[in-house]
């Protein structure tokens, strides 16, 4: 009986303490979403370059092109991180020696705190297109922040926002 009474008192203290410190007013800083795209020709060579004429990406009714690399500049961040939709960019990937090995296409940042169900259409320079479907919903902030986030490429579920395309080509001059 004594053990039961001690157990009940301990449970009441823990439950009361948890109620008093539960952070119901906390702010969750959801990570912005970024998409990376690699594309290779039939021989396995990357077709992404700093200038990608004819390459577009359409998201939420807005079409983005790869800008001239000279027009890009670094953004300075404040203490509170907010997603900044910078559009579509060709970004270099460097090897161990600091030499650029290849370029990838990068699109972002999409606000990770917003529920969405959107198609992102890639129009390649050769006239072909691919559709990335992004779904994010059911945000839960307490007790462990998480949301349901899924990616599909041309209708097939993908494990992440990193996409690799093989067998792509650039138009002949």
Q: What is the pLDDT of residue 11?
A: 42
C-alpha 171/C-alpha 65 separation (Å) is 17
3-state SS, one letter per residue, for 82-99: CCCCCEEEEEEEECCCCC
Count the neighbouring beta carbons within 10 Å of the beta carbon of residue 32: 16
**Domain-by-domain residue ranges, the chain?**
31-72+79-165
Report which of residues 19 and 117 the model is more confident about.
117
User: CB within 8 A of 21, min separation 6: which ones?
Assistant: none
Q: Would the pLDDT of 15 be above 90?
A: no
The answer to pTM > 0.85 is: no
C-alpha 171/C-alpha 41 separation (Å) is 12
pLDDT tens profile 63-88? 999 987 766 555 545 555 678 899 99
Query: Structure tokens of 134?
Result: 């992004």
136 close to 83: Cβ distance less than 8 angstroms: no
106 close to 122: Cβ distance less than 8 angstroms: no
């Amino acid at each position: 009986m004594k053990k039961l009474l001690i157990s009940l008192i301990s449970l009441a203290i823990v439950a009361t303490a948890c109620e008093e410190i539960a952070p119901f007013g906390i702010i969750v800083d959801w990570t912005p979403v970024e998409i990376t795209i690699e594309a290779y020709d039939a021989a396995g060579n990357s077709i992404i370059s700093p200038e990608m004429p004819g390459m577009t990406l359409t998201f939420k009714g807005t079409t983005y092109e790869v800008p001239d690399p000279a027009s890009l500049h670094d953004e300075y961040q404040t203490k509170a991180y907010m997603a900044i939709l910078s559009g579509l960019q060709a970004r270099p990937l460097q090897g161990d020696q600091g030499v650029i090995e290849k370029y990838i296409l990068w699109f972002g940042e999409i606000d990770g705190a917003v529920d969405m169900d959107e198609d992102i259409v890639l129009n390649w320079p050769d006239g072909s297109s691919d559709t990335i479907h992004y779904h994010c919903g059911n945000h839960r902030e307490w007790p462990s922040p998480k949301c349901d986030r899924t990616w599909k490429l041309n209708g097939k579920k993908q494990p992440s926002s990193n996409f690799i395309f093989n067998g792509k080509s650039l138009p002949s001059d």
